[in-house]
Amino acid sequence: MASLKKQLLFFAWIIGIFVSISLLTKLIIVIFLDNTLNNLDFFDIIHSLFWGLRFDIAIAMIFLLPTWLLYYLLIRLGVAKNLNILFFSPFFLLFFLMLAGDVVYVFDTGRHVSYEVFNVIGDIGALTHTLWQNYKFIIFIFIVLMLVLFFLLTKINNIFYKKSIQLEVGLLLLLLISAVFIRGGLQPIPISPIDAYSLGDDKKALIAQNGAYNITYSLLNYKSSLQQIKINLNEYQKNNYDKILTGLLPNKIKIKNGKINKFNVVLIFLESWAAKNMRSYGNKLNASPFFDELKKKSLSSMATISAGMRTTEGLFASLCSSQNPLGKSIVHSELENMEYRCLPHILKSIGYKTAFFQGTNKNTSGTGALINKLGFDASYGKQDVTGNSYPIDNWGVQDIDIYNFSLTKIDQLKQPFLVAINTNSTHSTALPAGIEYKFGKENYYQKRLSVMSFADNALAEFVKKYHDKNYHKTVFVIVADHTVSSGDNLYDKYRIPFLIYGKDFIKPKNIPAAISQRHITPSILDILKINTENHFGANSILDSNKIYADFFNNGILGWIENNNMIEVAVANNNIKCFELVKNKTQRKLTKCQQQHQQMANRALVFTHYNQKKLFAGELLNFNKNK
């Protein structure tokens, strides 16, 4: 008969194995993201690993408890008489897969998986291809770790049970232990992934979090309340809240004695384009000559900052002029059901026809449902495209094919129209067979530039074909939805290309400021001479009085004004200060001054206010702060 002591020892073995796997995974992140984590010293990393043990132990208990309950039933039903630790092999394998997928996601975006887990089933083929194409070394490392683990498991003795109340006693103890550790300890509120932000540093939080715990937490909280990240305002910010906020709220666009310009609007969301890879934003190589040349003829800015790292996040900010829930999307949350009045809603109300096209499956990442929520009438994805010039890749159709398909559908739309296109070729680093890798394919960077060059050629062909059709005057808005690389720093990670082009009727101008995706819809409406209402989170870029940009990354809020940039921790107000140099193509660390503290005040108060309005469903009254 197995004693209670042996049961507890067995529990310790299982928990130890799960925790060891988690720690090894975190070490992989630390080693291979050394450039991203380069400001952390050895003790910072050790502190983060120890702090994150609460997540590691919690996920171990989440796996152990139901597995042990299953085994208990098998014993009491007489199906099993002994327990081999290999009984846990399928659960260890699942755990490995969750962590491996999360590691790849961290390398791709610089953050752990959360709500995106709901899109895995629909995108499993594309994700598997991307994993094999770009992260073979991760697959190899995890296979080796699994083989070592299963070899060690075979060395652990089986446990034989006779019918004894000690089995129930062991189960009761496990239930009690689980109740404590799954909650993360004895605190009154169970832990959640956002608790890692209390470390006050996004990189330390990244190390502390456990990918499998994040995934499990998201699955268990599907369609439940999306947690709002707490922004800890200091006493000065609280006492001067309204005063600080008044200088930040955007002005309403009021057109006096003007007729609405019912120009067509074509929005192109360039999939995963990063400004740091483009000559017009400081790169020495010429991977996007068409975009760079068109930018000279357009209304643009010296820098544009994305609102997130996923397509749905970029779309929401660009079309609705609001921050996303910090580090998240409104997709797959109760925020989907809130009321919004976005660019498609406004233009439809004055007679515009609307359509949205994407090169991937139209339900990828919840995009199809989101764009319908945001006001588009028609939605098309890769399954609708016919007459392809190139084979469909693992994500979808190539850019030239989605462009050509959209042109056939645009021909059927009554003018004026609003059309948005989310491209696909740059979703991957693979080119169709027979296409030259212009910048090489020996490493990820070369392939990324080569794919961008291919996509830039397709963009040039689309714009030419569009103009050849002699539609009415058209406002082209070309912007990336987000970047793909974690980047060497947060500025590069969120810096994207952007322009507004109107052939012969929009005056070229390069705004000497960093703008955000929140500025896009107000700017379009300004050009169309349409009055705005009380719900936008930014001005038109033609109104240069209140232009600032922001981003959020793992507990760190970035804020840019003129040539100054700060990164402030929302948990404790700690700030780092930078100067933007070389036409805002680079950032340089600088000593924090009083002006930087004032920027932190504005960043935290504005974000606190935007998040409060977003979660309360009050974006339609954004400018009514009292």
Exposure pattern of 130-148 as b/e (b: 16+ CB <10 Å)? bbeebbeebeebbeebbee
User: 310: which 2 tokens?
Assistant: 């996923």
- The enclosing H or E element of 329 equals none
pTM of the model: 0.78
The answer, yes or no, to whether residue 403 has pLDDT greater than 70, is: yes
98 vs 592: CA distance, rounded Å: 41
200 vs 208: CA distance, rounded Å: 12
CB 390 within 8 A of CB 399: no
- pLDDT score of 626: 42
Place of tokens 């996920």: 59
CB 538 within 8 A of CB 544: no
Q: Which of 472, 523, 473, 526 has its CA nearest to residue 498?
A: 523
User: What is the length of the chain?
Assistant: 626
Q: What percentage of the chain exceeds 90 in pLDDT? A: 51
Q: Which of 2-11, 138-147, 167-176, 270-279 has the highest mean pLDDT?
A: 270-279
Q: Which of 298, 317, 314 has its CA nearest to residue 474?
A: 298
Q: Which of 421, 427, 419, 474 has its CA nearest to residue 447?
A: 427
The answer, yes or no, to whether residue 74 has pLDDT greater than 90, is: no
Q: Which of 148, 368, 336 has its CA nearest to residue 226?
A: 336
Residue ranges of the chain that CATH labels 3.40.720.10: 245-250+266-452+460-621
Mean pLDDT of all residues in 114-137: 66
What residues are paired with 549 via a beta bridge? 560
Report phi then psi at 20, rounded to 5: -65, -40
Residue 180: CA count within 13 A, CB half-sphere: 7
Q: What pLDDT, in 10s, does the model give residues 463-514?
A: 999 999 989 999 999 999 999 865 679 999 999 999 999 999 999 999 999 9
Report phi then psi at 515, rounded to 5: -115, 170
Q: What pLDDT, in 10s, does the model give residues 169-228?
A: 777 887 888 788 888 777 666 787 877 876 767 788 889 999 889 888 878 876 555 778
Under DSSP, the state recorded for 351 is T
467 vs 410: CA distance, rounded Å: 13
Q: Is 312 exposed, middle or buried (0-12, 13-18, 19+ CB in 10 A)?
A: buried
What would you report as the CA-atom Rg of the chain, rounded to the nearest whole angstrom? 26
Q: Is 331 exposed, middle or buried (0-12, 13-18, 19+ CB in 10 A)?
A: buried
254 vs 543: CA distance, rounded Å: 12
The answer, yes or no, to whether residue 346 has pLDDT greater than 80, is: yes
Mean pLDDT of all residues in 411-422: 97
Q: Which architecture, in CATH terms, is 245-250+266-452+460-621?
A: 3-Layer(aba) Sandwich (3.40)
471 vs 542: CA distance, rounded Å: 25
Mean pLDDT of all residues in 337-362: 91
Grouping H, G, I as helix, E, B as strand and the rest as coil, residue 24 is: helix
More confident of the two residues 338 and 604: 604
